[in-house]
Amino acid sequence: MNIIILGAGRVGESVAESLASEQNDITVIDTNAARLRKLEERFDLRGVVGNGIQPSVLKEAGAKDADMVIACAASDESNLVVCKVAHDVFNVPNTIARLRSSEFVEGDELLGKTGFAVDHVICPEESVTRYIRQLISYPEALQVVEFSQARACLTVVRAASGGAGVGHTIAELRERIPHAEMRVVALYRLDTEMDPKPSTRILPGDEVFLLADSRKIRQVLGAIHNIDKPVQRVMIAGGGRVGLRLARSLIDHCEVKIIERDPKRCEYLASQLPSSVLVLQGDGADEDLLQDENVGMMDMFLALTSDDEDNIMSAMLAKRLGAGRVLSLINRRAYADMMQGSTIDIAISPAQTVIGELLAHLRRGDVAAVHSLRRGTAEALEGVARGDVKTSKLVGRRVEEIKLPKGAAIGAIVRGKGRDGQVLMPHHDTLIEADDHIIIFIPNKRQVREVEKLFQVSATFFG
Protein backbone atom coordinates (compact mmCIF):
# COMPACT_ATOMS: atom_id res chain seq x y z
CA MET A 1 0.00 0.00 0.00
CA ASN A 2 1.02 3.61 -0.59
CA ILE A 3 0.79 5.27 2.82
CA ILE A 4 1.47 8.87 3.85
CA ILE A 5 2.24 9.55 7.52
CA LEU A 6 2.02 13.07 8.88
CA GLY A 7 4.36 13.63 11.81
CA ALA A 8 7.75 12.09 12.60
CA GLY A 9 7.37 12.21 16.38
CA ARG A 10 7.38 9.16 18.61
CA VAL A 11 4.03 7.85 17.40
CA GLY A 12 4.72 8.62 13.75
CA GLU A 13 8.16 7.02 13.96
CA SER A 14 6.77 3.86 15.52
CA VAL A 15 4.00 3.65 12.92
CA ALA A 16 6.51 4.19 10.10
CA GLU A 17 8.83 1.50 11.48
CA SER A 18 6.04 -1.04 11.75
CA LEU A 19 4.53 -0.36 8.33
CA ALA A 20 7.85 -0.07 6.48
CA SER A 21 8.80 -3.53 7.72
CA GLU A 22 5.76 -4.93 5.89
CA GLN A 23 6.87 -3.77 2.46
CA ASN A 24 4.50 -0.81 2.21
CA ASP A 25 5.52 2.33 0.32
CA ILE A 26 5.84 4.90 3.12
CA THR A 27 6.21 8.67 2.86
CA VAL A 28 6.58 10.73 6.06
CA ILE A 29 5.83 14.46 6.19
CA ASP A 30 7.34 16.67 8.90
CA THR A 31 8.68 20.18 9.28
CA ASN A 32 11.86 18.87 10.96
CA ALA A 33 14.33 17.96 8.19
CA ALA A 34 16.90 16.45 10.57
CA ARG A 35 14.33 14.11 12.07
CA LEU A 36 13.24 12.97 8.61
CA ARG A 37 16.85 12.27 7.57
CA LYS A 38 17.27 9.98 10.57
CA LEU A 39 14.13 8.08 9.61
CA GLU A 40 15.30 7.73 6.01
CA GLU A 41 18.63 6.35 7.23
CA ARG A 42 16.94 3.78 9.49
CA PHE A 43 14.00 2.65 7.37
CA ASP A 44 13.04 2.14 3.75
CA LEU A 45 10.87 5.25 3.35
CA ARG A 46 10.82 8.72 1.85
CA GLY A 47 10.71 11.98 3.78
CA VAL A 48 9.05 15.21 2.65
CA VAL A 49 9.84 18.42 4.53
CA GLY A 50 6.90 20.76 4.96
CA ASN A 51 3.55 21.49 6.54
CA GLY A 52 1.23 18.61 5.69
CA ILE A 53 -1.95 20.69 5.78
CA GLN A 54 -0.80 22.44 2.59
CA PRO A 55 -2.06 20.76 -0.60
CA SER A 56 1.27 21.38 -2.35
CA VAL A 57 3.12 19.38 0.32
CA LEU A 58 0.61 16.53 0.17
CA LYS A 59 0.94 16.54 -3.61
CA GLU A 60 4.74 16.29 -3.32
CA ALA A 61 4.27 13.36 -0.93
CA GLY A 62 2.26 11.51 -3.58
CA ALA A 63 -1.27 12.01 -2.25
CA LYS A 64 -2.78 11.45 -5.71
CA ASP A 65 -1.71 7.81 -5.60
CA ALA A 66 -2.00 7.25 -1.84
CA ASP A 67 -4.16 4.47 -0.43
CA MET A 68 -4.12 5.88 3.08
CA VAL A 69 -3.14 8.95 5.10
CA ILE A 70 -2.28 8.52 8.78
CA ALA A 71 -2.16 11.89 10.57
CA CYS A 72 0.00 11.60 13.72
CA ALA A 73 1.02 15.23 14.25
CA ALA A 74 1.13 16.72 17.74
CA SER A 75 -2.03 18.81 17.33
CA ASP A 76 -5.56 17.55 16.72
CA GLU A 77 -6.22 20.55 14.47
CA SER A 78 -3.45 19.62 12.03
CA ASN A 79 -4.56 16.01 11.88
CA LEU A 80 -8.18 16.94 11.18
CA VAL A 81 -7.24 19.38 8.41
CA VAL A 82 -4.85 16.92 6.73
CA CYS A 83 -7.55 14.25 6.57
CA LYS A 84 -10.00 16.77 5.11
CA VAL A 85 -7.57 17.98 2.43
CA ALA A 86 -6.44 14.44 1.59
CA HIS A 87 -10.03 13.32 1.03
CA ASP A 88 -11.49 16.39 -0.67
CA VAL A 89 -8.55 17.41 -2.86
CA PHE A 90 -6.81 14.10 -3.58
CA ASN A 91 -9.59 11.52 -3.07
CA VAL A 92 -7.48 9.46 -0.67
CA PRO A 93 -9.80 6.52 0.16
CA ASN A 94 -8.72 5.91 3.79
CA THR A 95 -7.82 8.45 6.46
CA ILE A 96 -6.77 7.91 10.08
CA ALA A 97 -6.27 10.71 12.60
CA ARG A 98 -4.59 10.75 15.98
CA LEU A 99 -6.94 12.79 18.17
CA ARG A 100 -6.32 13.50 21.84
CA SER A 101 -9.64 15.24 22.47
CA SER A 102 -12.38 12.94 23.73
CA GLU A 103 -14.99 15.11 21.99
CA PHE A 104 -14.13 13.64 18.59
CA VAL A 105 -15.58 10.13 18.45
CA GLU A 106 -15.22 7.79 15.51
CA GLY A 107 -18.50 7.54 13.62
CA ASP A 108 -19.75 11.01 14.58
CA GLU A 109 -21.21 13.08 11.75
CA LEU A 110 -18.55 15.73 12.39
CA LEU A 111 -15.87 13.25 11.32
CA GLY A 112 -17.89 11.88 8.38
CA LYS A 113 -17.22 12.47 4.70
CA THR A 114 -19.10 15.78 4.77
CA GLY A 115 -17.19 16.82 7.90
CA PHE A 116 -13.47 16.30 8.49
CA ALA A 117 -13.45 13.04 6.48
CA VAL A 118 -11.76 10.97 9.19
CA ASP A 119 -12.45 7.27 8.71
CA HIS A 120 -10.78 6.07 11.90
CA VAL A 121 -9.59 7.70 15.12
CA ILE A 122 -6.61 6.60 17.20
CA CYS A 123 -5.75 7.98 20.63
CA PRO A 124 -2.48 6.63 22.09
CA GLU A 125 -3.29 7.99 25.54
CA GLU A 126 -6.62 6.16 25.61
CA SER A 127 -5.03 2.98 24.22
CA VAL A 128 -2.32 3.02 26.91
CA THR A 129 -4.88 3.68 29.65
CA ARG A 130 -7.04 0.77 28.47
CA TYR A 131 -3.95 -1.48 28.25
CA ILE A 132 -2.81 -0.64 31.80
CA ARG A 133 -6.35 -1.01 33.13
CA GLN A 134 -6.40 -4.61 31.86
CA LEU A 135 -3.08 -5.32 33.58
CA ILE A 136 -4.47 -3.99 36.84
CA SER A 137 -7.44 -6.34 36.46
CA TYR A 138 -5.06 -9.27 35.87
CA PRO A 139 -1.97 -8.35 37.95
CA GLU A 140 -0.22 -11.68 37.26
CA ALA A 141 -0.23 -11.02 33.48
CA LEU A 142 2.37 -9.37 31.24
CA GLN A 143 -0.17 -8.63 28.53
CA VAL A 144 -3.93 -9.05 28.13
CA VAL A 145 -5.70 -8.65 24.77
CA GLU A 146 -9.31 -9.33 23.86
CA PHE A 147 -11.00 -10.58 20.72
CA SER A 148 -14.51 -10.79 19.29
CA GLN A 149 -16.10 -8.16 21.53
CA ALA A 150 -14.24 -9.43 24.61
CA ARG A 151 -15.55 -12.99 24.30
CA ALA A 152 -12.06 -14.47 23.91
CA CYS A 153 -8.94 -13.41 25.79
CA LEU A 154 -5.24 -13.92 25.11
CA THR A 155 -3.13 -13.58 28.25
CA VAL A 156 0.66 -13.64 28.50
CA VAL A 157 2.16 -14.78 31.81
CA ARG A 158 5.68 -15.51 32.98
CA ALA A 159 5.98 -18.81 34.85
CA ALA A 160 7.53 -18.13 38.26
CA SER A 161 9.37 -20.54 40.56
CA GLY A 162 6.80 -22.13 42.83
CA GLY A 163 3.98 -21.22 40.44
CA ALA A 164 1.03 -23.58 40.09
CA GLY A 165 1.93 -24.69 36.56
CA VAL A 166 5.71 -24.86 36.78
CA GLY A 167 7.05 -28.36 36.23
CA HIS A 168 3.84 -29.55 34.59
CA THR A 169 3.34 -30.37 30.92
CA ILE A 170 0.80 -28.49 28.82
CA ALA A 171 -1.37 -31.63 28.79
CA GLU A 172 -1.30 -31.74 32.59
CA LEU A 173 -2.36 -28.09 32.73
CA ARG A 174 -5.44 -28.88 30.69
CA GLU A 175 -6.31 -31.74 33.05
CA ARG A 176 -6.18 -29.32 36.00
CA ILE A 177 -9.01 -27.22 34.53
CA PRO A 178 -11.41 -29.67 32.80
CA HIS A 179 -14.28 -27.16 32.88
CA ALA A 180 -12.33 -24.33 31.25
CA GLU A 181 -10.89 -25.18 27.88
CA MET A 182 -7.76 -23.26 26.99
CA ARG A 183 -5.00 -23.32 24.41
CA VAL A 184 -1.30 -22.57 24.86
CA VAL A 185 -0.69 -20.90 21.49
CA ALA A 186 2.97 -20.06 22.11
CA LEU A 187 5.75 -20.55 24.63
CA TYR A 188 9.07 -18.70 24.75
CA ARG A 189 12.07 -19.80 26.78
CA LEU A 190 14.99 -17.37 27.07
CA ASP A 191 13.50 -15.51 24.09
CA THR A 192 13.52 -18.70 22.01
CA GLU A 193 10.24 -19.95 20.56
CA MET A 194 9.37 -23.44 21.80
CA ASP A 195 6.94 -25.91 20.24
CA PRO A 196 3.91 -25.90 22.60
CA LYS A 197 3.17 -29.62 22.31
CA PRO A 198 1.10 -31.44 24.96
CA SER A 199 4.35 -32.98 26.27
CA THR A 200 6.16 -29.63 26.57
CA ARG A 201 7.01 -28.96 30.22
CA ILE A 202 6.73 -25.43 31.60
CA LEU A 203 9.86 -24.15 33.37
CA PRO A 204 10.49 -21.07 35.54
CA GLY A 205 10.90 -17.96 33.40
CA ASP A 206 8.91 -19.30 30.44
CA GLU A 207 6.69 -16.77 28.69
CA VAL A 208 3.35 -18.53 28.15
CA PHE A 209 0.60 -17.32 25.79
CA LEU A 210 -2.82 -18.60 26.91
CA LEU A 211 -6.03 -18.25 24.89
CA ALA A 212 -9.41 -18.96 26.46
CA ASP A 213 -13.01 -17.86 26.87
CA SER A 214 -12.90 -14.52 28.73
CA ARG A 215 -15.36 -15.86 31.28
CA LYS A 216 -12.94 -18.66 32.20
CA ILE A 217 -9.66 -16.74 32.13
CA ARG A 218 -9.35 -16.57 35.94
CA GLN A 219 -9.48 -20.37 36.17
CA VAL A 220 -6.96 -20.69 33.37
CA LEU A 221 -4.52 -18.28 34.99
CA GLY A 222 -4.86 -20.14 38.27
CA ALA A 223 -3.69 -23.34 36.58
CA ILE A 224 -0.32 -21.87 35.62
CA HIS A 225 0.30 -18.94 37.94
CA ASN A 226 -0.38 -18.35 41.61
CA ILE A 227 -3.21 -15.83 41.40
CA ASP A 228 -2.14 -12.47 42.79
CA LYS A 229 -4.47 -10.71 45.18
CA PRO A 230 -6.64 -8.02 43.57
CA VAL A 231 -4.96 -4.65 43.18
CA GLN A 232 -6.29 -2.34 45.89
CA ARG A 233 -3.56 0.29 46.29
CA VAL A 234 -1.99 2.08 43.30
CA MET A 235 0.65 4.81 43.16
CA ILE A 236 1.05 6.75 39.91
CA ALA A 237 4.17 8.79 39.17
CA GLY A 238 3.17 11.34 36.54
CA GLY A 239 -0.10 13.23 36.34
CA GLY A 240 -0.16 13.81 32.59
CA ARG A 241 -2.94 12.73 30.23
CA VAL A 242 -2.40 9.01 30.83
CA GLY A 243 -2.04 9.40 34.58
CA LEU A 244 -5.24 11.44 34.83
CA ARG A 245 -7.24 9.11 32.58
CA LEU A 246 -6.08 6.10 34.56
CA ALA A 247 -6.81 7.69 37.94
CA ARG A 248 -10.34 8.48 36.80
CA SER A 249 -10.92 4.89 35.71
CA LEU A 250 -9.71 3.55 39.08
CA ILE A 251 -11.68 5.83 41.41
CA ASP A 252 -14.30 3.24 42.37
CA HIS A 253 -11.90 0.30 42.42
CA CYS A 254 -8.64 1.24 44.13
CA GLU A 255 -6.97 3.60 46.55
CA VAL A 256 -4.99 5.95 44.29
CA LYS A 257 -2.08 8.31 44.91
CA ILE A 258 -0.58 10.52 42.19
CA ILE A 259 2.87 12.11 42.36
CA GLU A 260 3.31 15.06 39.99
CA ARG A 261 6.31 17.41 39.79
CA ASP A 262 4.57 20.50 38.33
CA PRO A 263 2.67 22.50 41.03
CA LYS A 264 0.18 23.94 38.51
CA ARG A 265 -0.57 20.49 37.14
CA CYS A 266 -1.14 19.30 40.71
CA GLU A 267 -3.75 22.02 41.19
CA TYR A 268 -5.46 20.95 37.97
CA LEU A 269 -5.41 17.27 38.97
CA ALA A 270 -6.90 18.11 42.37
CA SER A 271 -9.71 20.01 40.65
CA GLN A 272 -10.47 17.11 38.29
CA LEU A 273 -10.36 14.23 40.77
CA PRO A 274 -12.37 13.49 43.92
CA SER A 275 -10.85 14.05 47.34
CA SER A 276 -10.37 10.30 47.74
CA VAL A 277 -7.44 10.57 45.27
CA LEU A 278 -4.34 11.95 47.00
CA VAL A 279 -2.35 14.32 44.74
CA LEU A 280 1.25 14.88 45.87
CA GLN A 281 3.63 17.49 44.48
CA GLY A 282 7.09 15.97 44.13
CA ASP A 283 9.51 13.77 42.22
CA GLY A 284 8.54 10.13 41.61
CA ALA A 285 12.20 9.17 41.96
CA ASP A 286 12.54 10.83 45.39
CA GLU A 287 13.34 7.97 47.77
CA ASP A 288 12.28 9.88 50.88
CA LEU A 289 8.92 10.81 49.35
CA LEU A 290 8.23 7.24 48.24
CA GLN A 291 9.07 5.89 51.68
CA ASP A 292 6.97 8.56 53.42
CA GLU A 293 4.01 7.58 51.22
CA ASN A 294 4.49 3.86 51.96
CA VAL A 295 5.33 2.76 48.44
CA GLY A 296 6.21 -0.66 49.89
CA MET A 297 2.53 -1.15 50.71
CA MET A 298 1.42 -0.49 47.12
CA ASP A 299 0.09 -3.40 45.07
CA MET A 300 1.17 -1.59 41.91
CA PHE A 301 3.47 1.33 41.13
CA LEU A 302 3.04 2.96 37.71
CA ALA A 303 5.68 5.30 36.26
CA LEU A 304 3.80 7.31 33.63
CA THR A 305 5.71 10.56 33.06
CA SER A 306 6.86 11.67 29.61
CA ASP A 307 10.54 11.07 30.51
CA ASP A 308 11.88 7.55 29.91
CA GLU A 309 14.83 7.87 32.29
CA ASP A 310 12.64 9.21 35.11
CA ASN A 311 10.17 6.36 34.61
CA ILE A 312 12.89 3.71 34.65
CA MET A 313 14.56 5.13 37.77
CA SER A 314 11.35 5.64 39.75
CA ALA A 315 10.01 2.17 38.86
CA MET A 316 13.29 0.48 39.84
CA LEU A 317 13.40 2.45 43.08
CA ALA A 318 9.78 1.60 43.91
CA LYS A 319 10.51 -2.08 43.35
CA ARG A 320 13.55 -1.94 45.63
CA LEU A 321 11.42 -0.27 48.30
CA GLY A 322 8.91 -3.11 48.24
CA ALA A 323 6.15 -2.23 45.75
CA GLY A 324 4.31 -5.36 44.60
CA ARG A 325 4.51 -4.92 40.82
CA VAL A 326 5.98 -2.01 38.92
CA LEU A 327 5.14 -0.81 35.42
CA SER A 328 7.04 1.77 33.43
CA LEU A 329 5.98 3.75 30.37
CA ILE A 330 9.01 3.83 28.05
CA ASN A 331 8.76 5.68 24.74
CA ARG A 332 12.05 4.45 23.27
CA ARG A 333 11.37 0.96 22.07
CA ALA A 334 14.97 -0.16 22.58
CA TYR A 335 14.76 0.85 26.23
CA ALA A 336 11.45 -0.98 26.63
CA ASP A 337 12.95 -4.16 25.18
CA MET A 338 15.89 -3.98 27.59
CA MET A 339 13.84 -3.30 30.70
CA GLN A 340 10.99 -5.79 30.15
CA GLY A 341 11.29 -8.62 32.67
CA SER A 342 14.14 -6.99 34.60
CA THR A 343 13.62 -5.23 37.93
CA ILE A 344 10.72 -3.60 36.12
CA ASP A 345 7.91 -6.14 35.79
CA ILE A 346 6.23 -4.58 32.75
CA ALA A 347 7.63 -2.03 30.28
CA ILE A 348 5.15 -0.44 27.86
CA SER A 349 5.98 1.42 24.67
CA PRO A 350 2.98 3.79 24.17
CA ALA A 351 3.24 3.93 20.39
CA GLN A 352 3.34 0.14 20.23
CA THR A 353 -0.08 -0.09 21.92
CA VAL A 354 -1.78 1.67 18.98
CA ILE A 355 -0.04 -0.31 16.25
CA GLY A 356 -2.61 -3.09 16.50
CA GLU A 357 -5.45 -0.62 15.98
CA LEU A 358 -3.76 0.66 12.82
CA LEU A 359 -2.89 -2.78 11.51
CA ALA A 360 -6.52 -3.89 11.66
CA HIS A 361 -7.28 -1.20 9.04
CA LEU A 362 -4.36 -2.25 6.85
CA ARG A 363 -4.79 -5.99 6.80
CA ARG A 364 -6.19 -7.54 3.63
CA GLY A 365 -9.15 -9.88 3.81
CA ASP A 366 -11.88 -9.68 6.43
CA VAL A 367 -9.77 -8.89 9.50
CA ALA A 368 -11.68 -7.88 12.64
CA ALA A 369 -8.80 -7.27 15.07
CA VAL A 370 -5.01 -7.29 15.27
CA HIS A 371 -2.86 -7.21 18.39
CA SER A 372 0.87 -6.63 18.38
CA LEU A 373 2.73 -9.07 20.66
CA ARG A 374 6.27 -9.54 21.95
CA ARG A 375 7.11 -5.88 21.41
CA GLY A 376 6.03 -5.92 17.77
CA THR A 377 7.72 -9.11 16.56
CA ALA A 378 4.59 -11.28 16.66
CA GLU A 379 0.87 -10.78 16.11
CA ALA A 380 -2.47 -12.27 17.03
CA LEU A 381 -4.99 -11.77 14.26
CA GLU A 382 -8.76 -12.26 14.28
CA GLY A 383 -10.30 -12.82 10.87
CA VAL A 384 -13.79 -13.71 9.71
CA ALA A 385 -14.33 -16.74 7.45
CA ARG A 386 -16.55 -15.60 4.56
CA GLY A 387 -17.90 -17.29 1.47
CA ASP A 388 -18.48 -21.00 0.94
CA VAL A 389 -16.54 -24.14 0.06
CA LYS A 390 -15.98 -22.91 -3.52
CA THR A 391 -14.89 -19.35 -2.76
CA SER A 392 -13.16 -19.61 0.63
CA LYS A 393 -9.89 -21.18 1.71
CA LEU A 394 -11.42 -21.76 5.16
CA VAL A 395 -15.15 -22.44 5.07
CA GLY A 396 -16.07 -26.12 4.94
CA ARG A 397 -12.52 -27.24 5.72
CA ARG A 398 -11.12 -29.05 8.74
CA VAL A 399 -8.43 -27.32 10.78
CA GLU A 400 -5.86 -29.92 9.71
CA GLU A 401 -6.50 -28.99 6.04
CA ILE A 402 -5.67 -25.30 6.52
CA LYS A 403 -2.14 -24.44 5.44
CA LEU A 404 -0.58 -22.07 7.98
CA PRO A 405 2.98 -20.66 8.02
CA LYS A 406 5.49 -22.44 10.24
CA GLY A 407 4.80 -21.72 13.92
CA ALA A 408 1.43 -20.08 13.28
CA ALA A 409 -1.49 -21.66 15.12
CA ILE A 410 -5.26 -21.37 15.23
CA GLY A 411 -5.89 -20.64 18.88
CA ALA A 412 -9.67 -20.31 19.03
CA ILE A 413 -12.84 -20.05 16.98
CA VAL A 414 -15.68 -17.77 18.06
CA ARG A 415 -18.97 -19.02 16.61
CA GLY A 416 -22.27 -17.16 16.85
CA LYS A 417 -23.12 -13.58 17.74
CA GLY A 418 -23.51 -11.71 20.99
CA ARG A 419 -23.19 -13.19 24.44
CA ASP A 420 -24.54 -16.52 23.21
CA GLY A 421 -21.52 -16.99 20.95
CA GLN A 422 -19.32 -20.00 21.64
CA VAL A 423 -15.57 -19.87 22.13
CA LEU A 424 -14.22 -23.14 20.70
CA MET A 425 -10.74 -24.56 21.18
CA PRO A 426 -10.35 -26.25 17.77
CA HIS A 427 -9.08 -29.79 17.25
CA HIS A 428 -7.57 -31.19 14.06
CA ASP A 429 -11.00 -32.29 12.77
CA THR A 430 -12.95 -29.12 13.69
CA LEU A 431 -14.88 -27.87 10.66
CA ILE A 432 -14.78 -24.15 9.85
CA GLU A 433 -18.20 -22.61 9.23
CA ALA A 434 -19.18 -19.40 7.44
CA ASP A 435 -18.91 -16.28 9.66
CA ASP A 436 -16.64 -18.01 12.20
CA HIS A 437 -14.19 -15.62 13.85
CA ILE A 438 -10.80 -17.33 13.79
CA ILE A 439 -8.00 -16.19 16.10
CA ILE A 440 -4.52 -17.03 14.82
CA PHE A 441 -1.19 -16.55 16.58
CA ILE A 442 1.57 -15.51 14.15
CA PRO A 443 5.11 -15.70 15.60
CA ASN A 444 6.77 -13.69 12.83
CA LYS A 445 5.27 -10.60 11.21
CA ARG A 446 6.73 -11.65 7.86
CA GLN A 447 4.16 -14.45 7.81
CA VAL A 448 1.18 -12.10 8.06
CA ARG A 449 0.58 -11.86 4.30
CA GLU A 450 0.18 -15.66 4.05
CA VAL A 451 -2.41 -15.62 6.82
CA GLU A 452 -4.27 -12.64 5.33
CA LYS A 453 -4.76 -14.54 2.08
CA LEU A 454 -6.72 -17.21 3.93
CA PHE A 455 -9.46 -14.67 4.70
CA GLN A 456 -9.76 -13.39 1.13
CA VAL A 457 -12.65 -14.82 -0.86
CA SER A 458 -12.44 -15.39 -4.58
CA ALA A 459 -14.11 -13.03 -7.08
CA THR A 460 -17.10 -15.34 -7.48
CA PHE A 461 -18.30 -14.62 -3.94
CA PHE A 462 -21.00 -11.93 -3.74
CA GLY A 463 -22.16 -12.42 -0.10
User: What local confidence, expressed as pLDDT, does residue 457 receive?
Assistant: 84
Q: What is the pLDDT of residues 153-205, one digit of tens each?
A: 999 998 888 888 889 999 998 888 888 888 999 999 988 999 999 999 999 98
User: What local confidence, expressed as pLDDT, does residue 462 receive?
Assistant: 45
3-state secondary structure of 175: helix
Higher pLDDT among residues 286 and 352, named by residue: 286
CA distances in angstroms from 373 to 8, 84, 158, 189, 348, listed in the order given: 23, 33, 14, 15, 11
Higher pLDDT among residues 458 and 317, named by residue: 317
CA 437 to mean position of chain CA atoms: 19
- Banded model confidence at residue 150, pLDDT cuts 50, 70, 90: confident
User: What local confidence, expressed as pLDDT, does residue 21 receive?
Assistant: 72
- Banded model confidence at residue 461, pLDDT cuts 50, 70, 90: very low
Q: What is the pLDDT of residues 391-417, one digit of tens each?
A: 999 999 999 999 999 989 999 999 987
Tell me the CA end-to-end span of the chain in Å, nearest whole number: 25
Measured at the alpha carbon of residue 279, what is the angle toward residues 277 and 285, in degrees to the nearest 5?
125
Q: What is the pLDDT of residues 87-124, one digit of tens each?
A: 999 999 999 999 988 888 888 899 999 999 999 998 88
Closest listed residue to residue 434, CA positions, set 376, 375, 380, 393: 393
User: What local confidence, expressed as pLDDT, does residue 33 receive?
Assistant: 96
pLDDT(247) > 90: yes
* Domains delineated in the chain: 2-122 (3.40.50.720), 233-352 (3.40.50.720), 355-454 (3.30.70.1450)
Quote the DSSP letter at residue 225: S
Distance CA 299, CA 301 (A): 7
User: What local confidence, expressed as pLDDT, does residue 419 receive?
Assistant: 65
pLDDT(231) > 50: yes
User: What local confidence, expressed as pLDDT, does residue 114 receive?
Assistant: 92
pLDDT(70) > 50: yes
pLDDT(453) > 70: yes
pLDDT(316) > 60: yes
User: What local confidence, expressed as pLDDT, does residue 417 receive?
Assistant: 78
Q: What is the mean pLDDT of the chain?
A: 90
> Quick one: angle between helices 350-362 and 124-137, nearest 10?
110
